[in-house]
Amino acid sequence: MMQDEKALDAEIVRALEEKPVVAVPVDFAARVRAALPPEPKVRAGRFAGRSLGRLVGGVAAVGLVGALCLLAPHARPSFESVAFDLEMVVLVELALVGAWLGRAGIRG
């Protein structure tokens, strides 16, 4: 019984210490490439290559600048003025959209 356990332990140790033989067929990459579905065609439209998020961010920035132009004549620099408060909120939103667009531009 004891010898069987020692023999089993020795067999396990030998199997664990043995380096596996790795063999990759020469045409393996070609077979994998052939098994893949075809790549989708890229549309060459007006907004090709542009991110939808960046496009929406740009439209939002233009809209926020328009809102600033509409609010500016009515805004008195006082915190009791609702137009002034709205103008400050729009300025903060514009700054955040600009920062996001700038960061997205850096990443590509």
CA 85 to chain centre: 34
Does 16 share its domain with 56?
no
Residue 103: give the domain boundaries: 52-107
Q: Is 24 helix (H, G, I), strand (E, B) or coil?
A: coil
**C-alpha separations of 4 from 1, 8, 12, 14 in Å:** 5, 6, 12, 15
Residue 56 and residue 83 in one domain: yes
pLDDT digits (tens, 9 = 90+) for 17-51: 998 888 898 999 999 999 999 888 766 666 566 67
Say yes or no: 57 and 98 in one domain: yes
The reply to whether 26 and 56 lie within a common domain is: no
Number of domains in the chain: 2
**75 lies in a domain?**
yes
Note whether residue 43 is domain-resident: no
**Is position 41 within any domain?**
no
* Cβ-based neighbour number of residue 14 at 10 Å: 9
Residue 24 domain-assigned? yes
Give the E-state strand segments of 7-104 in sequence order.
none
pLDDT digits (tens, 9 = 90+) for 47-70: 566 677 778 888 888 888 888 888
Predicted structure pTM score:
0.46
> Does any domain span residue 40?
no
